[in-house]
Amino acid sequence: MGQLDGKTAVVLGAASKDNIGQTIARLFAEEGATVMVAGRHEDVLADFAKEIGGHYALCDITSRDEVHALAQKTSSDMGRVDAAINCTGWGLLSNLLETTEEELDRMCDLQFKGVHHFLQAFVKAMSEQDPTGGSIISLSSATTRALINNHVAYIGSKRANEAMIECVANDFGHLGIKANTVSPAFTESPMTEGAFATPGLVDAFLPRYPLGRLNTAQDVAEACLWLCTDKAFVTGQHIQPNGGLTLRGNPQAKDIEAAVGAAMAKMQEN
């Protein structure tokens, strides 16, 4: 018997092969949920939905109309919405003094306004179904507790994401709606593929994790799974499935430069 037997879930941000969104959706399907996957790339979504025996929909989180249409489609196609998970994001690495207004607008559209659209649409869906209730998760980032250089717009909008989740938890808990964030740290995924290939970069991060390894997409998925079960009497919280990184903090730019430089020098010697 799966932990989510009979439940439904929608995962927005699952349109890149083997990204965190797909890892979450795959685990939820394995645990018995009927899953709607959504994002911007139809070919990837269609193939993945077929793989997990679920549904798919096109949706750009920056469009209020598209996000509300996704919530309506999820309710219509699957009968109700028991879990809604937002995995979208943009890891802009940019110095405060060099960040353009165009980049800032894009970040706000995606990680502030987009999250607001998502919360509005799925709180509405969960508050109108019978019985009311469900679990809403929006992925945040360990960087909101363990600062890293050149991430001002990213961290600022992720913290706003956390604040909105707290407000939803406070305002709609009486309807049985749980709202939490889950915060990955430096996670290997299609989005970080280039970073992981940089010699020495992982070496800079690894000592910061008390449990001795970087977190994986599966770690993040398992945390989301637990929050969406009836066993999790948790709301308005910021879950950190990242091996204790927030205890020691992320490496800073000088630490990363030193680790990468040492790795490059060793490669040249060999």
**pLDDT grade, residue 162 (50/70/90)?**
very high
- Give 256's pLDDT tier (boundaries 50, 70, 90): confident
Cα 113–119–121 angle (5° rounding)?
100
- DSSP SS3 for 37: strand
At residue 191, does pLDDT exceed 70? no
Q: Residue 2: how many CA atoms within 13 Å on its side-chain side?
A: 16
Percent of the chain with pLDDT over 90: 85
What local confidence, expressed as pLDDT, does residue 234 receive? Answer: 98
Average pLDDT over residues 24-30: 98
The C-alpha angle 243, 247, 253, rounded to 5 degrees, equals 95
Q: Answer whether residue 2 is part of any domain.
A: no
Q: Are 60 and 121 in contact (CB under 8 A)?
A: no
- Concatenating the DSSP letter of every residue in 108-122 gives HIIIIIHHHHHHHHH
pLDDT of the residue at 268: 77
| CB < 8 Å & 24+ apart, contacts of 190-198 | 190/16, 190/17, 190/18, 190/19, 191/16, 191/19, 191/89, 191/91, 192/91, 198/260
Does residue 187 or residue 177 have the better pLDDT?
177
pLDDT tens digit sequence for 66-103: 999 999 999 999 999 999 999 999 989 899 999 999 99
Q: What domain range is 172 assigned to?
A: 8-190+214-246
- Length of the chain in terms of residues written: 270
Each residue's pLDDT tens digit, 101-154: 999 999 999 999 999 999 999 999 999 999 999 999 999 999 999 999 999 999
48, HSE (Cβ side, Cα atoms, 13 Å): 29
> Which CATH number is 72's domain given?
3.40.50.720
Residue 62 domain flag: yes
Within a domain: 165: yes
Residue 16 lies in a domain: yes
Q: Beta-strand (E) ranges in 75-160?
A: 83-86, 134-139
In a domain, 150, yes or no: yes
Residue with tokens 């989510």: 4
Nearest to 153 by CA among 101, 84, 213: 101
- Residue 261 in any domain: the answer is no
The residue among 73, 192, 174, 97 whose CA lies nearest residue 133 is 174
Apex 175 CA angle, 173 and 178, nearest 5:
45
Q: How many domains does the chain have?
A: 1
Give the pLDDT score at 264.
73
**Mean pLDDT across the chain:** 94
Q: Assess whether pLDDT exceeds 70 at residue 193.
A: no
Does some domain include residue 256?
A: no
Higher pLDDT, 51 or 258: 51
Q: What is the pLDDT of residue 141?
A: 97
Average pLDDT over residues 154-178: 98
Q: How confident is the model at residue 263 (pLDDT cuts 50, 70, 90)?
A: low
pLDDT tens column, 205-239: 999 999 999 999 999 999 999 999 999 999 999 99
Q: What is the pLDDT of residue 255?
A: 86
Query: Please, which pLDDT band fits residue 190 given cuts at 50, 70 and 90?
Result: low
Is residue 208, in this structure, part of any structural domain at all?
A: no
Q: 122: which residues sit within 8 A by CB, 6+ positions away? A: 10, 71, 81, 84, 134, 136
Q: Is the pLDDT of residue 270 over 70?
A: no
pLDDT band at 35 (very low <50, low <70, confident <90, very high): very high
101-113 pLDDT, tens digit per residue, is 999 999 999 999 9
